Amino acid sequence: SIFGSGIMVLDKERSRVLVIGGTGHIGKHIVAASARRGHSTSVLIRDVAPSDPAKMQLLKSFIDSGVALIKGDLFDHGSLVNAIKGVDVVVSAVGPRQLVEQSRIVMAIKEAGNVKRFLPSEFGSDVERVHTVDPAATLYAGKLSLRRLIEAEGIPHTYVCCNGFAETYLPSIGDVTAVGAGPPSDKITVLGDGDAKAVFVVEKDIATYTVRAVDDPRTLNKILYMRPPANIVSHNELISMWERKAGRTFQIVRIPEAGLLKLIKGTSIIDPVPRHVYGVRTWL
């Protein structure tokens, strides 16, 4: 991280922040972090009165923390421009299905003409430093194309590369075939030999440093890497830590590279296994 023990915001007044995709997994943390840090924060929302009770509760928590809900849609150019005209910084946290549609945000930012910083939905590995296969390769190509578009349009930006989401992958002890199932009861699936290193960062911390970056001149037109040294572990090391804590050993089921390629062939990035392999892609 480029941040030391403290971070200095040069402006007395913090930027106004708009989050697009603010009800998603990482987006909700970014909204909360922005509000906590004292930014005037708004969220672009398609439906301000959703039927889903959980989403309704999330929106209520936003309102209670002083966040403004702005009715609009990624596919409604006019609503995008209007929302963007009222802020200084746009943070996109859209999910895999909408990554390629972020060009719409770029065009709206260009038309609005007032944005000091755009943070597109990256929140993974640096797309210019990875080598992968489909379905992840197509996703990376889309992110890379968006970077080039942002730069070609002269939009001030910061790319956040935070690696793996700790709260997503650590509960299953890194088993990408069992994400969401909690700690293993008897066996753990390991990709490859299990010795490759991966980086895990807690989502709340990712959001905190993302928000800190928006007003920091050192991150302007730069890539922000989050790689806490103590959070860099191999799958084998992670399993050993859990075995010591649990006081027992687990059966290890290893999937070699050829087996993994066969497993994900013909799948979509939104399917569970390839999506989570993409999330801890350095374990190969």
108 and 185, same domain (yes or no): no
pLDDT score, position 140? 86
pLDDT score, position 50? 86
Candidates 195, 223, 196, 224; CA nearest to 208 is 224
Active site residue 71: no
- Looking at 187, 209, 229, which one is the last position of a domain? 229
219 and 273, same domain (yes or no): no
pLDDT score, position 6? 40
102 and 189, same domain (yes or no): no
Q: How many domains does the chain have?
A: 2
131 and 249, same domain (yes or no): no
CA atoms within 13 A on the CB side of 2: 16
In a domain, 82, yes or no: yes
Task: Report the distance separating Cα 225 and Cα 228, nearest Å.
Answer: 9
171 and 64, same domain (yes or no): no
Q: Residue 47's domain is classified under what CATH number? A: 3.40.50.720
Catalytic residue among 12, 55, 85, 143: 143
Task: Report the distance separating Cα 247 and Cα 245, nearest Å.
Answer: 6
- Asked if 105 and 93 count as a contact pair (C-beta separation under 8 A), the reply is no
pLDDT score, position 270? 66
In a domain, 6, yes or no: no
Q: Residue 243's domain is classified under what CATH number? A: 3.90.25.10
pLDDT score, position 277? 57
92 and 185, same domain (yes or no): no
- Looking at the DSSP assignment, which residues form a beta bridge with residue 224? 160
Tell me how far apart the 2 most distant CA atoms of the chain are, in Å. 60
261: three-class secondary structure by DSSP: helix
210 and 265, same domain (yes or no): no
Which tokens go with 103?
Answer: 């060009």
190 and 111, same domain (yes or no): no
Exposure string over 178-196, b if 16+ CB within 10 A, otherwise e? bbeeeebeeebbbbbebee
Task: Report the distance separating Cα 92 and Cα 86, nearest Å.
Answer: 16
Q: Which domain holds residue 181?
A: 167-197+231-279
Sequence-distant (≥ 6) Cβ neighbours of residue 185 within 8 angstroms: none
100: three-class secondary structure by DSSP: helix
**How high is the mean pLDDT in each 10-residue block of the chain (284 residues)?**
38 86 97 98 92 94 97 96 98 93 98 98 90 81 95 98 93 89 91 92 98 98 96 96 95 90 75 54 47
In a domain, 2, yes or no: no
99 and 157, same domain (yes or no): yes
211 and 221, same domain (yes or no): yes
119 and 182, same domain (yes or no): no
91: three-class secondary structure by DSSP: strand
